[in-house]
Chains A and B, each alone.
Chain A
Amino acid sequence: MIPAPFEYARPTTVDEALQAIAAGGEDVKVLAGGQSLIPVMRLRLAAPETVVDLGRVAELRGVREDGDALVIGAMTTHSDVLADPLIQQHAPLIAQATETVADRQVRHRGTFGGALVHADPAGDLPAVALALDAEFVIAGPEGRRTVPARDFFVDYLTTAVGEGELLVEVRVPKLDGQWGMRYEKFNRVAQAWSIVAVAAAVRRENGHIAEARVGLTNMGPTPLRAGAVEAALSGAEATPEAIAAAAAHAAEGTEPSSDLNAQADYRQHLATVLTRRAVTAAAGL
């Protein structure tokens, strides 16, 4: 299939991009890596009036340090994220999850920011960003604003990025030292989206779990934090039994969909198993 016709803009700066979005009419789509957008357009499930291609906006690419945070440009490709030593050092959870995204070819084109703004509930990076308490820097006609991850994912395929706005970068707090991390993904075939996945980051202290952050992929229209699990883990002994007991809360407050990969009750079951496994691995057990 061939996409429906559209107007095409290719800005080279964020300001130009914002102008192009403003000038693009009713239905503007921002093209980052295009690895979800182009298939949807080919199937004519989306037929935007204007496509604004960020491919030439150099300032949106790359990973840098800024004090206690890593700053990941929205247009940094998945392969660049994987190859980046700062990510490997400070946010291995992102690398682990990114490695599971689709396949090599898609990772060469697909971008970190694009995946987050697309906010596919089955996508791998939103739950990771949520678990890591990332912050999203959004540019708009009125300037820039920063949105914490808990406010960024609004609904199914919907984020805090408003009309006329653009995600420019994501700030991820460095979690150095005693943190362990694990992204536990469950799908049927290698290149598929997650049926359920769990992103866990665990800080151990003296045989106990001092702090745990658990993000859930595809357990509802948006990525979720497994708050009850985190609370149960906080201060718990770092033992398989304690972790299993905490993980049993993983499905609380979730509303997963039922589709041909999994019905809701099975997804909820998977969440508990995968949470136990992710936390156990992250805790180094």
Chain B
Amino acid sequence: MTALEDRTEAPAPEVGKARKRKEDARLITGRTTWTDNMVLPGMLHLAVVRSPVAHAKITSVDVSAAADAPGVVAVFTGRDFAEEQGSIPCAWPVTPDMVNPGHPSLAVEEVNHVGEAVAVIVARSKAAAQDAVELVDVDYDPLPVVLDMEEAVAEQPDLCHDHLSSNESFRFVFDAGEAGTGQNTDEAFANAEVVVSRRFVQQRLIPAFMEPRAAVVQPQGDNYTMWSSTQVPHILRLMLAMITGTPEHKLRVIAPDVGGGFGGKLQVTPEEVITLLVARRLGKPVKWTETRSESLMSAHHGRDQIQYVDVAADREGNIKGLKVHILSDMGAYLRLVSPGVPVLGAFMYPGIYKFPAYRFDCQGVFTNKTPTDAYRGAGRPEATFAIERIMDELAVELGMDPLELRRKNWIKAEEFPFTTVAGLEYDSGDYDAATQQALELLGYDELREEQRRRRESDDPVQLGIGFSTFTEMCGLAPSRVLGSLSYGAGGWEHASIRMLPTGKVEVVTGSTPHGQGHETAWSQLVADELGVPFEDVEVLHGDTGISSRGLDTYGSRSLVVGGAAVVSASQKVVAKARKVAAHLLEAGEDDLQFESGSFSVRGTPGTSISIQEIALATFAAHNFPEGMEPSIDADATFDPVNFSFPHGTHICAMEVDTETGFVKIRKYACVDDVGKIVNPLIVEGQVHGGLAQGIAQALYEEAIYDADGNLTTGTFVDYLVPSAADLPHFDTGNTVHEAPGNPIGAKGVGEAGCIASTPAVVNAALDAVRHLGVTDIRMPLTPERVWRAIHSGGDGGDRATAGSNAYGGAQTETTAGVSTEASSLGGDR
């Protein structure tokens, strides 16, 4: 026990401090564990044979040459696993009659997209496995290829799955009039003075996490441990058990350090299933690590929607109604939450505006392409883009300043909490304050003045300013809400706190990080709750053997839901420790105060006991309260009652070279309200990273298929992930309106930058060239598209689908080797 007099001032709270990250030490030195680092005795290596055709019946598979190749231990086809591989799960049947064609991990009868796995080589070395891929001979009987969504839902289309009656998986409708959250939409449009209609294209994107996926499975008797580069070890374990029949309690899944995910590793992948099945069949440890080319063609893609958006208003700019019809490309199969992605967006199209009427109508469409699923924002970037773009178009139609139109219609600070036409209750915020601050950060007035000058002088380089005043829903999710949307799981998160004898603290979180800094932020939360030093907290995660319950990391949920569970568990620890302290200090529980990690008796200076000392006393358990079990450890599961709603104002100033169509961000300023900020360093980093991806959608990235269904953008040569030299400096700021729905007050920040930025960038480019007659430019804003939109009208049109001639046209159509007639002595640069 410590003399009370020794105590100094209470330390500053950890929450709010820009703590440098605990995770960094192992990452900056290269002393960490990626899944591909794993080496186990006797480990075999897998290589996957993938379909080079988009749609075909498999007529025969001859593996004999591959099986005889040196170093090859086994070759398996879909037939070999047909009875045990089940189907890749879809956990989100968004309508009762949703059509799910089933998704074998290894194709058995037919292939439905280029890159689909058809066989797997098992060999002693990675090289031997790779070499044998070329020796597998698969005969394909080609079927018509379905690529275009609008054609796919037109009359008499070719079918993506010939055993289905159409290419539509589901039709999900939300009508505010019918739901009782708004007026009749048809009437609103019939009575409107102004209607603006647009067709927007959300191009297909590839999450492109930097660490390629990998899985290692070690069998031990009838137990299996899988290491996987996954965002969702808990979900993966459950699903693997359900698919393969290996009981859940015989499976342990470990996500070691994971090199980014962005939704791309929120999946139960065919390759993970195959790796488990092979290990189970052979009883040997096996490893699969993908190449980047495999990753780009077979890991799930994101976005890919066509949006038909209509907005109704009166001449004064009062909005009257919103109608959204979207075609959402599922790709060839439904994966874990594929259908849920557009549905997550369904409730966000009204944005921050007070629409009296709203109707959302979404068709999920099958095409012979890689399946789509979650990618940073998942449904919300698409919704935000649509509303923020159409508000600009409405402003043009009305001859109003785009910001004035927004102001006129957005929810006022004093109106929170506000129930929207989509039925969501927005929690808190002040859109005007964020906007004012963002305008200042940007230097708005000077840039508008420069824009005027450039326009008057007919400068070849024009300047534009674009806004995005957005909100999003985070903190996935209230379990009851997920249930009402037919999602197959809850949205709670779990945490436990283990008080070690030396006073150190282990925090176990069910929210599995892959770059977000949970170890640091959770330590800050616990340090404040328990009053222990930040350094004394260790955060454990990503191993179902250690973290028994969890729903993992996606949807900006970790802090809002998982962090709340950590706080709640900490408070339970304190409550238990209070009983022990009362016993040891011989005082009543109610007479104790807990401050800076120590209990003391109110009004009785002299003695106190720290929670870390109580941990030791609990370990010894020599002198413990009667009837209390000797533990102050605690678990908590937090299930939010509502989503949280970050918001913000993003403003982009864009230069457009009208001679070449090249666009360049001149300045980017944003002010985000993500609620309480636990660690400003991490919050800023999340915003930056989100901005980079949102800007990349606007300017650079697009997964392109040719007419045969080959992914043309099959390497980083043609799928353009921007480098440091391609992105601007970001000026970021925050307002803080705490979320009332969780004990931290945080709203979530992982997706905000990505959701908000894309329309700001496109609006800026359009603002620069609107006076030249341009009304839309398709994303990404390639120089060619911008130039065509300026000089030939339209939205810039489709791009040619041939790969660029880099490396002599080295776009990867298959992983099988093909020798080309190239320079006889060439090969250099």
Q: Do A and B bind each other?
A: yes
Contacts from A to B (Cβ < 8 Å): 1-2, 4-5, 21, 27-37, 39-41, 43-47, 101-102, 106, 110-111, 113-115, 117-123, 156-159, 161-163, 165-167, 186, 188-193, 195, 218, 257-263, 266, 269-270, 273-274
B627 lies within 8 A of chain A by Cβ:
no
Residues in B113-145 with C-beta less than 8 Å from chain A: 126-127, 130-131, 134
- A114 to B807, alpha carbons, bound, how many Å? 13
B571 lies within 8 A of chain A by Cβ:
no
- A222 to B132, alpha carbons, bound, how many Å? 37
Tell me whether B662 and A186 are in contact (CB under 8 A): yes
User: B712 — which chain A residues lie within 8 A by C-beta?
Assistant: 260
13 further interface pairs, Cβ-Cβ under 8 Å (given A44-B134, A45-B818, A259-B802): A1-B130, A4-B131, A29-B825, A30-B825, A30-B826, A33-B829, A34-B827, A46-B827, A161-B824, A189-B725, A192-B717, A269-B787, A274-B660
Tell me whether A259 and B805 are in contact (CB under 8 A): yes
Among all A-B residue pairs, the 8 with the closest Cβ atoms: A114-B828, A37-B827, A44-B817, A190-B725, A118-B826, A157-B823, A259-B802, A32-B828
Q: Min CB distance, A98 to chain B, in Å?
A: 11
User: B824 — which chain A residues lie within 8 A by C-beta?
Assistant: 158, 161-163
Given contacts A121-B805, A189-B722, contact A34 B659 (CB under 8 A): no
B806 lies within 8 A of chain A by Cβ:
yes
CB<8 Å pairs between A and B, sample of 9: A4-B131, A44-B818, A46-B819, A102-B829, A156-B808, A159-B823, A165-B825, A259-B802, A260-B713
Tell me whether A259 and B804 are in contact (CB under 8 A): yes
Residues in B499-548 with C-beta less than 8 Å from chain A: none
> In the complex, which residue of chain B has the Cβ closest to the Cβ of A31?
B827
Residues in B785-829 with C-beta less than 8 Å from chain A: 787-788, 799-808, 810, 812, 815-820, 822-829
Tell me whether A218 and B662 are in contact (CB under 8 A): no
Q: Which of A2, A34, A117, A190 contacts B726 (CB 8 A)?
A: A190
Q: Which of A28, A165, A260 has the most CB of B within 10 A?
A: A260
- A123 to B829, alpha carbons, bound, how many Å? 8
Q: Min CB distance, A155 to chain B, in Å?
A: 9
- A121 to B809, alpha carbons, bound, how many Å? 11
Please encode chain B, from 701 to 717, with 1 for each CB lying within 8 Å of some chain A CB and 0 for all others: 00010000000110101
Given contacts A1-B293, A188-B783, contact A40 B816 (CB under 8 A): no
- A128 to B803, alpha carbons, bound, how many Å? 25
Given contacts A45-B810, A189-B700, A193-B806, contact A260 B817 (CB under 8 A): no
Main secondary structure, interface of A, reads loop
User: A36 — which chain B residues lie within 8 A by C-beta?
Assistant: 807-808, 826-829
Residues in B681-726 with C-beta less than 8 Å from chain A: 700, 704, 712-713, 715, 717-718, 720, 722-723, 725-726
Please encode chain B, from 273 to 287, with 1 for each CB lying within 8 Å of some chain A CB and 0 for all others: 000000000000000
Q: Min CB distance, A18 to chain B, in Å?
A: 11
Q: Which of A44, A118, A161, A259 contacts B803 (CB 8 A)?
A: A259
User: A4 — which chain B residues lie within 8 A by C-beta?
Assistant: 131, 817
Given contacts A1-B293, A43-B293, A101-B829, contact A122 B660 (CB under 8 A): no
Tell me whether A192 and B130 are in contact (CB under 8 A): no
Tell me whether B784 and A120 are in contact (CB under 8 A): no
Given contacts A157-B823, A259-B803, contact A266 B784 (CB under 8 A): yes
Q: Which of A2, A122, A257 has the most CB of B within 10 A?
A: A2
- A43 to B823, alpha carbons, bound, how many Å? 16
Tell me whether B783 and A119 are in contact (CB under 8 A): no
Tell me whether B723 and A191 are in contact (CB under 8 A): yes
> In the complex, which residue of chain B has the Cβ closest to the Cβ of A106?
B829
Tell me whether A260 and B823 are in contact (CB under 8 A): no
- A27 to B665, alpha carbons, bound, how many Å? 47
B598 lies within 8 A of chain A by Cβ:
no
Residues in B636-676 with C-beta less than 8 Å from chain A: 659-660, 662
- A158 to B823, alpha carbons, bound, how many Å? 5
User: A218 — which chain B residues lie within 8 A by C-beta?
Assistant: 805
Q: Which of B127, B820, B828 contacts A110 (CB 8 A)?
A: B828
> In the complex, which residue of chain B has the Cβ closest to the Cβ of A103?
B723
> In the complex, which residue of chain B has the Cβ closest to the Cβ of A122?
B805
- A37 to B828, alpha carbons, bound, how many Å? 5
B2 lies within 8 A of chain A by Cβ:
no
B166 lies within 8 A of chain A by Cβ:
no
User: A269 — which chain B residues lie within 8 A by C-beta?
Assistant: 787
- A47 to B723, alpha carbons, bound, how many Å? 31
Q: Which of B130, B804, B807, B829 contacts A261 (CB 8 A)?
A: B804
> In the complex, which residue of chain A has the Cβ closest to the Cβ of B802?
A259
User: B816 — which chain A residues lie within 8 A by C-beta?
Assistant: 44
- A266 to B661, alpha carbons, bound, how many Å? 10
Tell me whether B828 and A39 are in contact (CB under 8 A): no
B623 lies within 8 A of chain A by Cβ:
no
Tell me whether A273 and B720 are in contact (CB under 8 A): no
Given contacts A1-B815, A118-B826, contact A260 B725 (CB under 8 A): no
- A27 to B800, alpha carbons, bound, how many Å? 33
- A123 to B662, alpha carbons, bound, how many Å? 20
> In the complex, which residue of chain B has the Cβ closest to the Cβ of A121?
B805
Q: Which of B131, B804, B820 contacts A46 (CB 8 A)?
A: B820
> In the complex, which residue of chain A has the Cβ closest to the Cβ of B127?
A2
B782 lies within 8 A of chain A by Cβ:
yes
Tell me whether B804 and A115 are in contact (CB under 8 A): no
Residues in B594-616 with C-beta less than 8 Å from chain A: none
- A159 to B827, alpha carbons, bound, how many Å? 12
Tell me whether B810 and A119 are in contact (CB under 8 A): no
User: B715 — which chain A residues lie within 8 A by C-beta?
Assistant: 43
- A120 to B822, alpha carbons, bound, how many Å? 10
Tell me whether B826 and A157 are in contact (CB under 8 A): yes
User: B127 — which chain A residues lie within 8 A by C-beta?
Assistant: 2
Q: Which of B662, B720, B808, B819 has the most CB of A within 10 A?
A: B808
- A190 to B726, alpha carbons, bound, how many Å? 6
- A190 to B725, alpha carbons, bound, how many Å? 6
Given contacts A35-B828, A36-B829, A157-B808, contact A119 B823 (CB under 8 A): yes
- A6 to B810, alpha carbons, bound, how many Å? 20
User: A156 — which chain B residues lie within 8 A by C-beta?
Assistant: 808
Q: Min CB distance, A70 to chain B, in Å?
A: 20
User: B812 — which chain A residues lie within 8 A by C-beta?
Assistant: 43
Q: Which of A30, A167, A260, A274 contacts B704 (CB 8 A)?
A: A260
Q: Min CB distance, B67 to chain A, in Å?
A: 19
- A37 to B712, alpha carbons, bound, how many Å? 20
Tell me whether A257 and B805 are in contact (CB under 8 A): yes
User: A34 — which chain B residues lie within 8 A by C-beta?
Assistant: 827-828
B419 lies within 8 A of chain A by Cβ:
no
Q: Which of B126, B720, B799, B802 contacts A189 (CB 8 A)?
A: B720
User: B593 — which chain A residues lie within 8 A by C-beta?
Assistant: none
User: B717 — which chain A residues lie within 8 A by C-beta?
Assistant: 192-193
> In the complex, which residue of chain A has the Cβ closest to the Cβ of B706?
A260
- A217 to B355, alpha carbons, bound, how many Å? 53
Q: Min CB distance, A275 to chain B, in Å?
A: 12
Tell me whether B810 and A263 are in contact (CB under 8 A): no
> In the complex, which residue of chain B has the Cβ closest to the Cβ of A157?
B823
User: A47 — which chain B residues lie within 8 A by C-beta?
Assistant: 817, 819
Given contacts A39-B807, A40-B808, A43-B807, contact A29 B827 (CB under 8 A): yes
Given contacts A157-B823, A163-B824, contact A110 B810 (CB under 8 A): no
Tell me whether B130 and A266 are in contact (CB under 8 A): no
- A33 to B826, alpha carbons, bound, how many Å? 11
- A192 to B700, alpha carbons, bound, how many Å? 12
- A243 to B827, alpha carbons, bound, how many Å? 37
> In the complex, which residue of chain A has the Cβ closest to the Cβ of B821?
A157
Q: Which of B720, B808, B826, B829 contacts A188 (CB 8 A)?
A: B720
Tell me whether A117 and B829 are in contact (CB under 8 A): no
Q: Min CB distance, A78 to chain B, in Å?
A: 8
Tell me whether B723 and A190 are in contact (CB under 8 A): yes
Q: Min CB distance, B149 to chain A, in Å?
A: 20
Q: Min CB distance, B45 to chain A, in Å?
A: 11
Tell me whether A45 and B819 are in contact (CB under 8 A): yes
Tell me whether B700 and A157 are in contact (CB under 8 A): no
User: B134 — which chain A residues lie within 8 A by C-beta?
Assistant: 44
